[in-house]
Amino acid sequence: MLDSPNLDHQTYQVDGKTYRVTGAVYNLAMNHHDGALIIVREYSPKNQAAVRNPPVPDDQLPRLRAASDIIWIEWAARAGSADAAKNLKTVTIYRVSNEMTTAAIRRALDSRNTQLSAFPGEQFDATSDEGKALIGSPNGVGVGYLLLQHKPQLGNLKISKIDVFSTIHDGYAWEAVLIFHIEAT
């Protein structure tokens, strides 16, 4: 979680109503030509509101708060055309920190008697029990929402497989990376 005390008392106004800043952060990398969306950091308004001092109450959260919507707005805005926006082929979650997703990754790897390893790591079919667990994890659900909520723009897409591997951070700490492969249904 990102925590910045200088955000605790900052405010902004929308339609005459004053809101406190939550400190939400989204760092994304995109390659529309190859259909690659990489989510480097994702800290939602609700998540970050809880770490403010005092916490930002729910009635102070911004109307636009779903990660899937915020990520879609960025993806579509930078695509340049509707056709380029439709070209979503992979969604990568870089450096997974969500505890529930991390637990799902551990269980999936345990089912193969293996550990988190460097690229290419392990690949799970979306229809396998492990694949379903990864899709049902908080990070996987977010990708699913992105596809479902923006079906009119993206068309009928589904997650077909998930890659799980690790990256080295600070030279020693291994952190999981998930790549959700997207294809037409």
Q: How far apart are CA 112 and CA 63, in angstroms?
A: 42
Q: Cβ(117)–Cβ(108) under 8 Å? A: no
Q: What share of the chain in percent tops pLDDT 70?
A: 94
14: in domain: no
In a domain, 65, yes or no: no
Q: Please report whether residue 81 resides in a domain.
A: no
pLDDT band at 169 (very low <50, low <70, confident <90, very high): low
Residue 131 burial class via C-beta count within 10 angstroms: exposed 0-12, middle 13-18, buried 19 and up: buried
pLDDT, position 66: 86
Q: What is the CA radius of gyration of the chain?
A: 18
> Cβ-count burial of 185 within 10 angstroms (0-12 exposed, 13-18 middle, 19+ buried)?
exposed
Q: What is the pLDDT of residue 132?
A: 98
Considering the domain boundaries, does residue 150 fall inside one?
A: yes
Residue 161 lies in a domain: yes
Indicate whether 93 belongs to any domain: yes
Exposure string (b/e) for 56-83, b if CB count within 10 Å is 16 or more?
beeebbbeebbbbebbbeebbeebeeee
Contacting residues for 12 by C-beta, under 8 A, at least 6 apart = 18, 19, 21
Query: Is residue 120 reached through a cis peptide bond, with omega within 30 degrees of 0 on the bond before it?
Result: yes
- Residue 126 belongs to some domain of the structure: yes
Q: Are 8 and 53 in contact (CB under 8 A)?
A: yes
110 within some domain: yes
CA distance 47 to 73: 20
State both tokens at 152: 């009119």
> Domains in the chain: how many in total?
1
* Per-residue pLDDT tens digits for 76-122: 999 989 999 999 999 999 989 889 999 999 999 999 999 998 889 99
Summarised one tens digit per residue, pLDDT across range 21-43 is 999 999 999 999 999 999 999 98
In tens, the pLDDT along 136-149 reads: 999 999 999 999 99
Residue 114 structural domain: 88-184
C-alpha to C-alpha distance for 142 and 120, rounded to whole angstroms? 23
Cis bond upstream, residue 54 (ω within 30): yes
Average pLDDT over residues 46-72: 90
CA angle, 26 then 183 then 179, to 5°: 45
